[in-house]
Chain A
Amino acid sequence: MDKNFATRRRRDLFVAAALAVIAALAPLFVKDVYVQNILILTLMYAALSQSWNILSGYCGQISLGHALYFGLGAYTTALLFMKFGVLPWFGMLAGGLLSALIAMGLGYLCFRLRGHYFVIATIVIAEITLLLFHNWDWAGAALGIDIPVRGDSWLKFQFTRSKLPYFYFALVLACVAWFVTWWLEDSKWGFWWRAVKDNPEAAESLGVVVFNSKMGAAAVSAFLVAVGGSFYAQFVSYIDPESVMGFQFSLLMALPAVLGGIGTLWGPVLGAAILIPLTELTRSFIGGSGRGVDLIVYGTLIILISLALPRGLVSLFPSRKGAAR
């Protein structure tokens, strides 16, 4: 690529490293667990949205069913731990690999579908899985899985009061998701995806390789989201089908990227950094009224941002305009 591109990539890496260091130091100044909780959720959603963005933003395969992988990650970890005593670290890996495999299988079937047919297919596949888990007694059905927390342990990845281990895990996950995206941008895959976006005819000639690269993207995206799901199960220490596999979750995962800038390197981070604190704070401080004001504020904001900034919040930073190119 040209020289500007190389410069920008180096600068992106530098900025990311600086941000990661600043974030890593944040707990020195933020002692309030409520604020720490918001930071953890922000990092988690940044990671999830970044992973979603790989498939839906860069590849243009818009999935509104990623809650499937999130839920599979959470359930695999929790079930392996509760039923077979497998440590969550292995469960995390198992959940990630399982999700990656399933994502490739589904990609194989669904990538032929276009536009809304694909979107709806992703929604209904996630819904089917949700319903099956809802009726699967061995996996706790609607009662969910309550992971008992008996003291602090890195081995079992559970901590009674301290939020710092969760914070640093979420930070690492967000950094990994960002770095994978950064690396993909300049890879062969990234090149094909851009080519296909700029010129649909190119898709024909590149047919097979592009299809394979999309399968790869689906696998990477699902793996990372599933690791996020495993993390969530450990963090909340209780999961049920609705709270880890609900349709709402798929939307929440997509929103930061969409508002921040879909198909861009920084969009998901920026979107999560604004959206998550905002939703948490509106719920906490005006949600208790029972009058739905928090919904009105939240919804209005989504309308305004998506209409005023179709390229997302990243377009407010001129140097990164259209970063996906």
Chain B
Amino acid sequence: MTITRRDVLLGATATAALMPLAARAQTSEVVIGVIYPFSGASAQQGVDAQKAYETALEVINKDTDFDLPLAKGEGLPGLGGAKVRLVFADHQADPQKGRAEAERLITQEKVCAVIGTYQSSVAVTVSQICERYQIPFVSADNSSPSLHRRGLKYYFRASPHDEMYSAAMFDFFDALKKKGTKINTLALFHEDTIFGTDSGNAQAKIAAERGYKILADIKYRNNSPSLSAEVQQLKSASADVLMPSSYTTDGILLVKTMAELGYKPNAIVAQDAGFSEKALYDAVGDKLEGVISRGTFSLDLAQKRPMVGKINEMFKARSGKDLNDLTSRQFMGLIVLADAISRAKSTEGEKIRDALAATDIPGDKTIMPWKRIKFDEMGQNNDADPVLLQYVGGKFVTIFPPQAAIAEATWPMK
């Protein structure tokens, strides 16, 4: 990237594009790109994410008294109180569009880092582009385990991936078994996109390792018009635990179809996604008393850490919803990223990367029930302990692991 005489003559746009990334440091404003689906089938997740990021932005840019990095004082202290600005882009769940938007944000909007993306498939291309431009990518809410294993230097994920989540579920089963509860057989029910496939693979693998028998491993087409045949097979299998990995739409249809076909499983232990969405419980909450979902977040943490409740109120004022597993991870992701930028004292990609790699935030300075946030050499935080939550009396209570639990699990479910 050298600047020749002719290039200088080519006008503002051209020269701006050729400017070395380093020349952008020392601004009074730090721009971060946020890439989500804002239209199409998963637009709702994008819109919710936007609210979560705006809440985090308020904590960062305004003076608040939470015990979180960057909460006190305005803006980023490492950059003389520079304010963070977010630029939102729509990837429509298409990897190609995610890629193009990432490139636009980096070259045109001059973002110094990118955060996203909900769909794991889009995270693949967005993280590739970020790697090429040496701009850090924070994978706030993608749970596919393959993402951090691609040898990328600029990829960071503070939250757990599906193998960690699934391992937590089996730890829970093991603990219950020790106490004498009968859990021998499982029924897996997962959708056919990257999320369900990864989750189903991880669960099947761990089940085999730990000696659980899988009676049904049902992979279904996402947004299917009917799940009768699938539920019928689950019912015939009649396993001790039903383990769904479903988005909101299929989750709603699954629960309704189960009720209609008279299938009442002994226990449901869900891989988050739809089973942490308010829309699902609004629709079929009455049939889900006692359902267990993995998560990384629980509102009952507010009992121990009052700031969790206050931040939830801030988010609720914007979105009309409580923080859930996705939105809490998005909130935390931006805090972690902004904290690294502040410590880097620079908006240069490489310096932010190094600061991210040096991140070490103790668990009680987050809104999550994690031990701490510290990235391994692949950019994965292995201290993000998943929790299991049980839906009891209209809200979630943490039941596992013991150090985070506030109640005993009700097993079997009602």
A→B interface (CB under 8 Å): 29-34, 37, 41, 131, 134-135, 141-144, 146, 148-149, 160-161, 232, 236-240, 242-243, 280, 283-284, 287-290, 292, 294-295
A32-B107, A146-B150, A290-B46 known; A238 vs B124 contact (CB < 8 Å): yes
Lowest 7 CB-CB distances: which A-B pairs, in order?
A287-B90, A290-B38, A288-B88, A31-B14, A34-B104, A290-B47, A142-B197
C-alpha gap A141/B101 in the complex (Å): 25
**Residue count of chain B within 8 Å CB distance of chain A:** 46
Residue of A nearest to B121 (CB): A240
Give residues of chain B (82-136) contacting chain A, Cβ–Cβ below 8 Å.
87-90, 92, 94-97, 99-101, 103-104, 107-108, 121, 124-125, 128, 132-133
Is B50 part of the binding interface, using a Cβ–Cβ cutoff of 8 Å? yes
B→A interface (CB under 8 Å): 7, 10, 13-14, 17-18, 38-39, 43, 46-47, 50, 87-90, 92, 94-97, 99-101, 103-104, 107-108, 121, 124-125, 128, 132-133, 144, 146, 150-151, 192-194, 196-198, 219, 221
Q: Which of B87, B95, B219 has the most CB of A within 10 A?
A: B95
By a CB distance below 8 angstroms, the chain B residues around A283 are 39, 90, 92, 97
A246 to chain B, nearest CB (A): 9
B150 near A294: Cβ-Cβ < 8 Å: no
C-alpha gap A177/B146 in the complex (Å): 38
B65 to chain A, nearest CB (A): 31
**Residue in A31, A239, A287 whose beta carbon sits within 8 Å of that of B92 in the complex:** A287
By a CB distance below 8 angstroms, the chain B residues around A34 are 100, 103-104, 107-108
By a CB distance below 8 angstroms, the chain A residues around B196 are 142
A144 near B100: Cβ-Cβ < 8 Å: no
Residue of A nearest to B144 (CB): A143
A31-B17, A292-B43 known; A243 vs B89 contact (CB < 8 Å): no
C-alpha gap A243/B194 in the complex (Å): 12
A284 near B104: Cβ-Cβ < 8 Å: yes
**Residue in B43, B47, B96 whose beta carbon sits within 8 Å of that of A243 in the complex:** B96
Residue of A nearest to B104 (CB): A34
**Residue in B46, B103, B128, B198 whose beta carbon sits within 8 Å of that of A33 in the complex:** B103
A141 near B100: Cβ-Cβ < 8 Å: no
A242 near B18: Cβ-Cβ < 8 Å: no
B38 near A287: Cβ-Cβ < 8 Å: yes
A135 near B219: Cβ-Cβ < 8 Å: yes
C-alpha gap A149/B50 in the complex (Å): 31
A236 near B92: Cβ-Cβ < 8 Å: no
A149 near B132: Cβ-Cβ < 8 Å: yes
A33 near B150: Cβ-Cβ < 8 Å: no
Residue of B nearest to A246 (CB): B94
A232 near B96: Cβ-Cβ < 8 Å: yes
A54 to chain B, nearest CB (A): 24
B22 to chain A, nearest CB (A): 16
A238-B128, A292-B39 known; A143 vs B146 contact (CB < 8 Å): yes
**Residue in B17, B90, B133, B193 whose beta carbon sits within 8 Å of that of A288 in the complex:** B90
A143 near B197: Cβ-Cβ < 8 Å: yes
A37 near B219: Cβ-Cβ < 8 Å: no
B98 to chain A, nearest CB (A): 10
By a CB distance below 8 angstroms, the chain A residues around B95 are 144, 236, 238-240, 243
B275 to chain A, nearest CB (A): 20
C-alpha gap A218/B150 in the complex (Å): 39
A288 near B100: Cβ-Cβ < 8 Å: no
**Residue in A37, A236, A290 whose beta carbon sits within 8 Å of that of B43 in the complex:** A290
B38 near A288: Cβ-Cβ < 8 Å: yes
Residue of A nearest to B15 (CB): A31
B39 near A31: Cβ-Cβ < 8 Å: no
A32-B107, A135-B192, A160-B132 known; A236 vs B99 contact (CB < 8 Å): yes
A142 near B193: Cβ-Cβ < 8 Å: yes
